[in-house]
Protein backbone atom coordinates (compact mmCIF):
# COMPACT_ATOMS: atom_id res chain seq x y z
CA UNK A 1 0.00 0.00 0.00
CA UNK A 2 1.02 3.66 -0.09
CA UNK A 3 2.34 3.69 3.46
CA UNK A 4 4.58 0.67 2.97
CA UNK A 5 5.61 1.21 -0.62
CA UNK A 6 3.97 -2.06 -1.58
CA UNK A 7 1.58 -2.99 -4.34
CA UNK A 8 -0.48 -6.12 -4.68
CA UNK A 9 0.86 -8.36 -7.40
CA UNK A 10 -0.96 -8.00 -10.70
CA UNK A 11 -0.62 -11.73 -11.17
CA UNK A 12 -2.52 -12.26 -7.98
CA UNK A 13 -5.29 -9.99 -9.15
CA UNK A 14 -5.91 -12.02 -12.24
CA UNK A 15 -5.57 -8.88 -14.36
CA UNK A 16 -1.88 -8.76 -15.28
CA UNK A 17 -2.72 -6.71 -18.41
CA UNK A 18 0.59 -7.73 -19.90
CA UNK A 19 -0.86 -6.85 -23.27
CA UNK A 20 -1.21 -3.23 -22.18
CA UNK A 21 2.47 -3.00 -21.40
CA UNK A 22 3.86 -4.98 -24.30
CA UNK A 23 1.09 -4.41 -26.82
CA UNK A 24 0.52 -8.09 -27.47
CA UNK A 25 -2.94 -9.51 -27.07
CA UNK A 26 -3.58 -11.53 -23.94
CA UNK A 27 -6.50 -13.95 -23.67
CA UNK A 28 -7.48 -15.38 -20.31
CA UNK A 29 -7.40 -19.18 -20.19
CA UNK A 30 -11.04 -19.22 -19.09
CA UNK A 31 -12.03 -17.04 -22.04
CA UNK A 32 -10.04 -19.27 -24.38
CA UNK A 33 -11.83 -22.41 -23.29
CA UNK A 34 -15.26 -20.82 -23.43
CA UNK A 35 -14.76 -19.16 -26.78
CA UNK A 36 -13.40 -22.34 -28.33
CA UNK A 37 -16.46 -24.26 -27.22
CA UNK A 38 -18.83 -21.67 -28.64
CA UNK A 39 -17.50 -21.55 -32.19
CA UNK A 40 -19.49 -22.93 -35.09
CA UNK A 41 -18.45 -26.14 -36.80
CA UNK A 42 -15.19 -25.62 -38.73
CA UNK A 43 -14.95 -25.78 -42.47
CA UNK A 44 -12.67 -28.61 -43.66
CA UNK A 45 -11.17 -26.30 -46.26
CA UNK A 46 -9.92 -23.79 -43.69
CA UNK A 47 -6.95 -25.27 -41.86
CA UNK A 48 -3.71 -23.93 -40.46
CA UNK A 49 -0.56 -25.85 -39.42
CA UNK A 50 -0.09 -25.84 -35.66
CA UNK A 51 3.12 -25.86 -33.64
CA UNK A 52 3.31 -29.67 -33.78
CA UNK A 53 2.71 -29.79 -37.53
CA UNK A 54 -0.88 -30.96 -37.21
CA UNK A 55 -3.62 -29.03 -38.96
CA UNK A 56 -5.83 -26.74 -36.89
CA UNK A 57 -9.37 -26.26 -38.11
CA UNK A 58 -10.46 -22.69 -38.64
CA UNK A 59 -14.12 -21.70 -38.27
CA UNK A 60 -15.23 -20.16 -41.53
CA UNK A 61 -16.68 -16.68 -41.36
CA UNK A 62 -20.44 -17.28 -41.61
CA UNK A 63 -21.52 -14.70 -39.07
CA UNK A 64 -24.57 -13.73 -41.03
CA UNK A 65 -25.98 -17.01 -39.66
CA UNK A 66 -24.89 -16.20 -36.10
CA UNK A 67 -27.08 -13.69 -34.28
CA UNK A 68 -24.75 -13.37 -31.29
CA UNK A 69 -22.27 -10.50 -31.03
CA UNK A 70 -18.51 -11.12 -30.66
CA UNK A 71 -18.82 -10.10 -26.99
CA UNK A 72 -21.36 -12.89 -26.52
CA UNK A 73 -19.66 -15.42 -28.77
CA UNK A 74 -16.32 -15.09 -26.95
CA UNK A 75 -18.02 -14.82 -23.53
CA UNK A 76 -16.44 -11.44 -22.76
CA UNK A 77 -17.67 -9.12 -20.02
CA UNK A 78 -15.17 -6.41 -20.93
CA UNK A 79 -12.30 -5.63 -23.29
CA UNK A 80 -8.68 -4.69 -22.71
CA UNK A 81 -7.31 -1.48 -24.19
CA UNK A 82 -5.06 -3.57 -26.39
CA UNK A 83 -8.00 -5.45 -27.87
CA UNK A 84 -8.89 -2.18 -29.57
CA UNK A 85 -5.27 -1.44 -30.38
CA UNK A 86 -4.84 -4.74 -32.20
CA UNK A 87 -7.94 -3.81 -34.18
CA UNK A 88 -6.12 -0.64 -35.15
CA UNK A 89 -3.37 -2.81 -36.67
CA UNK A 90 -5.62 -5.36 -38.36
CA UNK A 91 -9.08 -6.24 -37.17
CA UNK A 92 -9.29 -9.45 -39.19
CA UNK A 93 -6.03 -10.69 -37.70
CA UNK A 94 -7.36 -10.00 -34.22
CA UNK A 95 -10.46 -12.08 -34.96
CA UNK A 96 -8.35 -15.02 -36.16
CA UNK A 97 -6.28 -14.80 -32.97
CA UNK A 98 -9.49 -15.07 -30.97
CA UNK A 99 -10.72 -18.01 -33.02
CA UNK A 100 -7.36 -19.79 -32.87
CA UNK A 101 -6.19 -19.21 -29.28
CA UNK A 102 -2.74 -20.42 -28.36
CA UNK A 103 -1.32 -20.02 -31.87
CA UNK A 104 1.71 -18.05 -30.67
CA UNK A 105 5.11 -18.56 -32.28
CA UNK A 106 7.92 -19.41 -29.80
CA UNK A 107 9.94 -16.36 -30.86
CA UNK A 108 6.96 -14.09 -30.21
CA UNK A 109 6.49 -15.64 -26.78
CA UNK A 110 10.18 -15.01 -26.02
CA UNK A 111 9.77 -11.34 -26.91
CA UNK A 112 6.80 -11.17 -24.54
CA UNK A 113 8.80 -12.67 -21.67
CA UNK A 114 11.73 -10.30 -22.18
CA UNK A 115 9.49 -7.26 -22.34
CA UNK A 116 7.62 -8.34 -19.21
CA UNK A 117 10.90 -8.66 -17.30
CA UNK A 118 11.89 -5.11 -18.24
CA UNK A 119 8.53 -3.74 -17.15
CA UNK A 120 8.72 -5.62 -13.85
CA UNK A 121 12.20 -4.22 -13.15
CA UNK A 122 10.90 -0.70 -13.72
CA UNK A 123 7.93 -1.32 -11.45
CA UNK A 124 10.13 -2.62 -8.64
CA UNK A 125 12.06 0.66 -8.72
CA UNK A 126 8.96 2.37 -7.30
CA UNK A 127 7.39 -0.23 -5.01
CA UNK A 128 7.54 -3.82 -3.87
CA UNK A 129 5.05 -6.44 -5.00
CA UNK A 130 3.01 -8.49 -2.55
CA UNK A 131 1.28 -11.61 -3.85
CA UNK A 132 -2.15 -12.25 -2.34
CA UNK A 133 -4.08 -15.50 -2.86
CA UNK A 134 -7.55 -14.97 -4.32
CA UNK A 135 -10.51 -17.28 -4.78
CA UNK A 136 -13.17 -15.20 -6.52
CA UNK A 137 -13.47 -12.55 -9.21
CA UNK A 138 -14.64 -10.18 -6.47
CA UNK A 139 -11.29 -10.68 -4.73
CA UNK A 140 -9.49 -10.07 -8.02
CA UNK A 141 -11.20 -6.72 -8.51
CA UNK A 142 -10.71 -5.89 -4.83
CA UNK A 143 -6.96 -6.20 -5.38
CA UNK A 144 -7.24 -3.82 -8.31
CA UNK A 145 -9.14 -1.33 -6.13
CA UNK A 146 -6.61 -1.61 -3.30
CA UNK A 147 -3.84 -0.74 -5.74
CA UNK A 148 -5.76 2.33 -6.91
CA UNK A 149 -6.37 3.45 -3.32
CA UNK A 150 -2.68 3.09 -2.54
CA UNK A 151 -1.64 5.17 -5.57
CA UNK A 152 -4.06 8.10 -5.26
CA UNK A 153 -2.23 9.67 -2.24
CA UNK A 154 1.06 9.35 -4.12
CA UNK A 155 -0.37 11.22 -7.09
CA UNK A 156 -1.82 13.83 -4.74
CA UNK A 157 1.66 14.46 -3.33
CA UNK A 158 3.06 14.71 -6.88
CA UNK A 159 4.87 11.40 -6.65
CA UNK A 160 5.54 8.76 -9.30
CA UNK A 161 3.42 5.63 -9.73
CA UNK A 162 3.53 2.67 -12.09
CA UNK A 163 0.95 0.13 -13.28
CA UNK A 164 -2.15 2.21 -12.52
CA UNK A 165 -5.40 0.32 -13.35
CA UNK A 166 -7.98 2.16 -15.44
CA UNK A 167 -11.52 1.21 -16.48
CA UNK A 168 -14.59 2.85 -17.91
CA UNK A 169 -17.60 2.31 -20.16
CA UNK A 170 -17.07 3.26 -23.79
CA UNK A 171 -19.85 2.98 -26.38
CA UNK A 172 -21.69 0.50 -24.15
CA UNK A 173 -18.63 -1.71 -23.50
CA UNK A 174 -16.38 -1.77 -20.42
CA UNK A 175 -12.76 -1.06 -21.30
CA UNK A 176 -9.94 -2.07 -18.91
CA UNK A 177 -6.23 -1.30 -18.98
CA UNK A 178 -3.07 -0.51 -17.02
CA UNK A 179 -1.06 2.70 -17.42
CA UNK A 180 2.69 2.09 -17.32
CA UNK A 181 3.66 5.24 -15.44
CA UNK A 182 2.27 8.55 -14.21
CA UNK A 183 4.47 11.35 -12.87
CA UNK A 184 4.68 15.13 -12.76
CA UNK A 185 7.01 17.26 -14.86
CA UNK A 186 9.08 20.14 -13.52
CA UNK A 187 6.21 22.44 -14.55
CA UNK A 188 3.73 20.45 -12.48
CA UNK A 189 2.02 18.78 -15.45
CA UNK A 190 0.78 15.20 -15.09
CA UNK A 191 2.59 13.06 -17.67
CA UNK A 192 1.74 9.56 -18.83
CA UNK A 193 4.82 7.56 -19.86
CA UNK A 194 4.36 4.36 -21.86
CA UNK A 195 7.33 1.99 -22.22
CA UNK A 196 7.75 0.03 -25.44
CA UNK A 197 10.54 -2.52 -25.80
CA UNK A 198 12.08 -3.29 -29.17
CA UNK A 199 13.79 -6.53 -30.20
CA UNK A 200 15.93 -4.67 -32.74
CA UNK A 201 17.80 -1.42 -31.98
CA UNK A 202 15.63 0.80 -34.16
CA UNK A 203 12.44 2.80 -33.86
CA UNK A 204 9.22 1.21 -35.17
CA UNK A 205 7.55 2.06 -38.46
CA UNK A 206 4.96 4.81 -38.57
CA UNK A 207 2.14 2.22 -38.61
CA UNK A 208 3.37 0.81 -35.28
CA UNK A 209 3.77 4.30 -33.82
CA UNK A 210 0.22 5.09 -34.90
CA UNK A 211 -1.03 2.09 -32.95
CA UNK A 212 1.01 3.07 -29.90
CA UNK A 213 -0.35 6.61 -30.06
CA UNK A 214 -3.89 5.28 -30.11
CA UNK A 215 -3.10 3.22 -27.01
CA UNK A 216 -1.93 6.16 -24.88
CA UNK A 217 -4.82 8.28 -26.19
CA UNK A 218 -7.20 5.59 -24.89
CA UNK A 219 -5.49 5.60 -21.49
CA UNK A 220 -5.95 9.35 -21.16
CA UNK A 221 -9.54 9.10 -22.34
CA UNK A 222 -10.38 6.56 -19.61
CA UNK A 223 -8.24 8.05 -16.82
CA UNK A 224 -9.67 11.52 -17.33
CA UNK A 225 -13.21 10.12 -17.15
CA UNK A 226 -12.35 8.36 -13.88
CA UNK A 227 -11.02 11.46 -12.10
CA UNK A 228 -13.88 13.58 -13.49
CA UNK A 229 -16.49 11.29 -11.92
CA UNK A 230 -17.82 9.99 -15.23
CA UNK A 231 -17.26 6.32 -14.34
CA UNK A 232 -19.90 4.79 -12.07
CA UNK A 233 -19.96 1.74 -9.83
CA UNK A 234 -23.33 0.75 -11.31
CA UNK A 235 -21.80 0.53 -14.79
CA UNK A 236 -18.86 -1.51 -13.50
CA UNK A 237 -21.13 -3.98 -11.69
CA UNK A 238 -23.39 -4.28 -14.73
CA UNK A 239 -20.58 -5.25 -17.08
CA UNK A 240 -18.43 -7.40 -14.78
CA UNK A 241 -21.37 -9.17 -13.08
CA UNK A 242 -19.66 -8.59 -9.74
CA UNK A 243 -21.46 -9.15 -6.44
CA UNK A 244 -20.71 -6.05 -4.31
CA UNK A 245 -22.16 -7.59 -1.15
CA UNK A 246 -19.87 -10.60 -1.27
CA UNK A 247 -17.43 -10.63 1.69
CA UNK A 248 -13.76 -10.27 0.83
CA UNK A 249 -11.51 -13.31 1.10
CA UNK A 250 -9.37 -13.54 4.27
CA UNK A 251 -6.08 -12.69 2.52
CA UNK A 252 -7.52 -9.68 0.72
CA UNK A 253 -9.32 -8.51 3.86
CA UNK A 254 -6.14 -8.78 5.93
CA UNK A 255 -4.16 -6.76 3.39
CA UNK A 256 -6.87 -4.09 3.24
CA UNK A 257 -6.84 -3.74 7.02
CA UNK A 258 -3.06 -3.48 7.04
CA UNK A 259 -3.40 -0.58 4.61
CA UNK A 260 -5.81 1.19 6.94
CA UNK A 261 -9.02 0.45 5.06
CA UNK A 262 -11.98 -0.62 7.20
CA UNK A 263 -13.91 -2.67 4.68
CA UNK A 264 -15.71 -6.00 4.64
CA UNK A 265 -17.05 -6.40 1.12
CA UNK A 266 -16.20 -5.49 -2.45
CA UNK A 267 -18.95 -2.87 -2.34
CA UNK A 268 -17.21 -1.13 0.58
CA UNK A 269 -13.99 -0.94 -1.44
CA UNK A 270 -15.79 0.28 -4.56
CA UNK A 271 -17.39 3.10 -2.60
CA UNK A 272 -13.99 4.14 -1.24
CA UNK A 273 -12.40 4.08 -4.70
CA UNK A 274 -15.05 6.16 -6.43
CA UNK A 275 -15.16 8.67 -3.57
CA UNK A 276 -11.36 8.96 -3.60
CA UNK A 277 -11.23 9.44 -7.37
CA UNK A 278 -13.82 12.22 -7.37
CA UNK A 279 -12.83 13.99 -4.13
CA UNK A 280 -9.05 13.78 -4.42
CA UNK A 281 -8.95 16.61 -6.98
CA UNK A 282 -6.56 14.68 -9.22
CA UNK A 283 -5.81 16.46 -12.51
CA UNK A 284 -6.41 15.08 -15.98
CA UNK A 285 -3.37 13.88 -17.91
CA UNK A 286 -1.54 16.76 -19.59
CA UNK A 287 1.22 15.01 -21.55
CA UNK A 288 1.39 11.67 -23.37
CA UNK A 289 4.86 10.22 -23.91
CA UNK A 290 6.05 6.94 -25.44
CA UNK A 291 9.58 5.68 -24.74
CA UNK A 292 11.15 3.04 -27.00
CA UNK A 293 14.04 1.01 -25.60
CA UNK A 294 16.14 -1.86 -26.96
CA UNK A 295 15.43 -5.11 -25.11
CA UNK A 296 18.95 -6.49 -25.11
CA UNK A 297 20.89 -3.36 -24.11
CA UNK A 298 18.14 -1.28 -22.42
CA UNK A 299 19.28 1.62 -24.60
CA UNK A 300 16.70 4.35 -25.14
CA UNK A 301 16.03 4.45 -28.88
CA UNK A 302 13.81 7.51 -28.81
CA UNK A 303 10.77 9.16 -27.29
CA UNK A 304 7.54 10.44 -28.84
CA UNK A 305 5.33 13.18 -27.43
CA UNK A 306 1.79 12.33 -28.52
CA UNK A 307 -1.02 14.79 -29.11
CA UNK A 308 -4.43 13.90 -27.68
CA UNK A 309 -6.89 13.75 -30.57
CA UNK A 310 -10.25 13.41 -28.82
CA UNK A 311 -12.39 13.59 -31.97
CA UNK A 312 -10.32 10.91 -33.70
CA UNK A 313 -10.34 8.69 -30.61
CA UNK A 314 -14.13 8.88 -30.33
CA UNK A 315 -14.52 8.08 -34.02
CA UNK A 316 -12.29 5.00 -33.77
CA UNK A 317 -14.05 3.85 -30.61
CA UNK A 318 -17.43 3.99 -32.32
CA UNK A 319 -16.08 2.06 -35.32
CA UNK A 320 -14.29 -0.65 -33.33
CA UNK A 321 -17.07 -1.12 -30.79
CA UNK A 322 -19.54 -1.60 -33.65
CA UNK A 323 -17.75 -4.87 -34.41
CA UNK A 324 -17.79 -6.06 -30.79
CA UNK A 325 -21.49 -5.25 -30.46
CA UNK A 326 -22.26 -7.26 -33.60
CA UNK A 327 -23.29 -4.33 -35.80
CA UNK A 328 -20.82 -5.14 -38.58
CA UNK A 329 -18.41 -7.84 -39.79
CA UNK A 330 -14.64 -7.61 -39.23
CA UNK A 331 -12.46 -5.81 -41.71
CA UNK A 332 -8.89 -6.37 -42.85
CA UNK A 333 -6.32 -3.78 -43.84
CA UNK A 334 -6.67 -1.40 -46.76
CA UNK A 335 -4.68 -2.05 -49.94
CA UNK A 336 -2.17 0.60 -48.90
CA UNK A 337 -1.32 -1.43 -45.79
CA UNK A 338 -1.32 -4.89 -47.39
CA UNK A 339 2.39 -5.14 -46.51
CA UNK A 340 1.25 -6.11 -42.99
CA UNK A 341 0.07 -9.43 -44.41
CA UNK A 342 3.67 -10.52 -45.03
CA UNK A 343 4.22 -11.11 -41.32
CA UNK A 344 0.74 -12.41 -40.49
CA UNK A 345 0.32 -16.06 -39.45
CA UNK A 346 -3.12 -16.15 -41.04
CA UNK A 347 -2.34 -14.68 -44.46
CA UNK A 348 -2.85 -17.99 -46.30
CA UNK A 349 -6.39 -18.48 -44.99
CA UNK A 350 -7.49 -14.86 -44.66
CA UNK A 351 -10.93 -14.38 -46.20
CA UNK A 352 -10.44 -10.62 -46.39
CA UNK A 353 -7.49 -11.13 -48.75
CA UNK A 354 -9.25 -13.84 -50.77
CA UNK A 355 -12.25 -11.57 -51.18
CA UNK A 356 -10.15 -8.71 -52.47
CA UNK A 357 -10.83 -6.52 -49.46
CA UNK A 358 -14.31 -7.81 -48.57
CA UNK A 359 -15.35 -10.86 -46.52
CA UNK A 360 -16.24 -13.78 -48.77
CA UNK A 361 -19.58 -14.10 -46.96
CA UNK A 362 -20.52 -10.78 -48.56
CA UNK A 363 -19.14 -11.62 -51.99
CA UNK A 364 -20.79 -15.03 -52.34
CA UNK A 365 -24.32 -13.75 -53.08
CA UNK A 366 -22.90 -11.38 -55.72
CA UNK A 367 -21.08 -14.26 -57.41
CA UNK A 368 -24.31 -16.22 -57.67
CA UNK A 369 -26.01 -13.30 -59.42
CA UNK A 370 -23.25 -13.18 -62.04
CA UNK A 371 -23.93 -16.77 -62.92
Higher pLDDT, 174 or 367: 174
3-state secondary structure of 306: strand
Closest CA to 90 of 353, 355, 291: 353
Q: What is the mean pLDDT of residues 95-110?
A: 68
How does 46-79 read in b/e, with b if 16+ C-beta sit within 10 Å? beeeeeeeeebbbbbbebeebeebbbebbebeeb
Alpha helical stretches, state H, 228-265: 233-240, 250-258
Exposed/middle/buried for residue 255 (C-beta within 10 Å: 0-12, 13-18, 19+): buried
CATH topology for the 69-351 domain: Lambda Exonuclease; Chain A (3.90.320)
Tell me the C-alpha distance between 137 and 266, whole Å: 10
The pLDDT score that the predictor gives to residue 30 is 32
In tens, the pLDDT along 272-319 reads 999 999 898 899 999 999 999 998 888 999 999 999 999 999 999 999
CB distance 194 to 290 below 8 Å: yes
Q: What is the mean pLDDT of residues 35-45?
A: 34
**81-99 vs 310-324: helix crossing angle, rounded to 10:** 30
Q: What is the mean pLDDT of residues 16-28?
A: 34
Higher pLDDT, 48 or 234: 234
Q: What is the mean pLDDT of residues 197-219?
A: 93
Tell me the average pLDDT of the chain: 78
Tell me the C-alpha distance between 176 and 173, whole Å: 10
Tell me the C-alpha distance between 99 and 326, whole Å: 16
pLDDT tier, 116 (very low <50, low <70, confident <90, very high otherwise): low
Higher pLDDT, 178 or 64: 178
For the chain, give the percent of residues with pLDDT over 90: 55
Amino acid sequence: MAETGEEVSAEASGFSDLSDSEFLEYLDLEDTQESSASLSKPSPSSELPGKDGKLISLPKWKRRLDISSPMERFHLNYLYVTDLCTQDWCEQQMVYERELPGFLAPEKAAVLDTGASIHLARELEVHDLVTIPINTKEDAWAVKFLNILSMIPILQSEGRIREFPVFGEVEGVLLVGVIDELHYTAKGELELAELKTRRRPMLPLEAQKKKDCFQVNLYKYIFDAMVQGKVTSASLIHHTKLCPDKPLGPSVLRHAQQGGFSVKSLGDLMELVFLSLTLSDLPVIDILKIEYIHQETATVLGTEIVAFEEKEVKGKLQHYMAYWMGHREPQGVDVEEAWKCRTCNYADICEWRKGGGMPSSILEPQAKKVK
